[in-house]
Copies of this chain bind each other. A is one copy, B any other.
Amino acid sequence: MSVADTETSVSTRDRILDAAETLFIEHGFAGTSVRAIATEAGVNLAATNYHFGSKKGLFSAVFQRRVQPINEERLQRLSRLQKEVQVGKRKLTIRLVLECFFEPLRHVDPGIPALVGRMHGEPASLTRPILEEAFLEVAGAFHGALRQVLPELSHEELRWRFHFMIGSMIHLLQMHAPLGSESTHDTFTSGVPRLINFVQAGMAHTDNGKVYD
């Protein structure tokens, strides 16, 4: 492939991905037709099946493209934190772990949160395989880190709190899914610190009102 070739080829693929992302966010998977995607992208109807095999394949590709950089940064931050802890440079706290998990959400394309939020609203039969593949490693790593910093919690209790944490996050992500304005990103940026505070309190609470740091 020449440079020119690569450019046109990638351009078509990416135009499809961009259009599909927009429409999937707005109308969901079943509510979006391949025809609408092709029209929005300005490409031929058959191009989507040529590049992605099927509508499901396209849906999966749209999601993977966005979520992989986020998860990579999450793991990067966590492993950097754990190294600093090993060296004795830092003390491992709930807040630091949560920041590794949530902060990457602030520095990404404004459309991404909406997509991740929409993803969690789709029927599980469609999304479960995609989500499991995408989040298995990240969920395991952060679950482990939180267990390390909250050793007095039973596994079951930690699983529940982890669950609520994900729920709070997803609801923040879904919050502005239907709106496409610039305020989306601003509101979201200011929401992340509040989310961290909220989740930290929920994670650390004990029955007598004491909280961990």
Spell out A's residues near B (CB within 8 Å). 26-31, 120-125, 128, 157, 160-161, 163-164, 166-172, 174-175, 177-178, 191, 194-195, 197-202, 204-205, 207, 209-211, 213
Contact = CB atoms under 8 A, between A and B. Distances in A.
Contact of A202 (B166, B169, B201): B201
Contact of A164 (B26, B171, B210): B171
Contacts of A194: 157, 160-161, 164
How many chain copies does the complex carry? 2
B157 A167 contact: no
Given A123-B26, A177-B124, A170 B172 contact: no
Contacts of A170: 167, 171
Contacts of A204: 201
B122 A28 contact: yes
Contacts of A210: 209
A85 B175 CA distance: 34
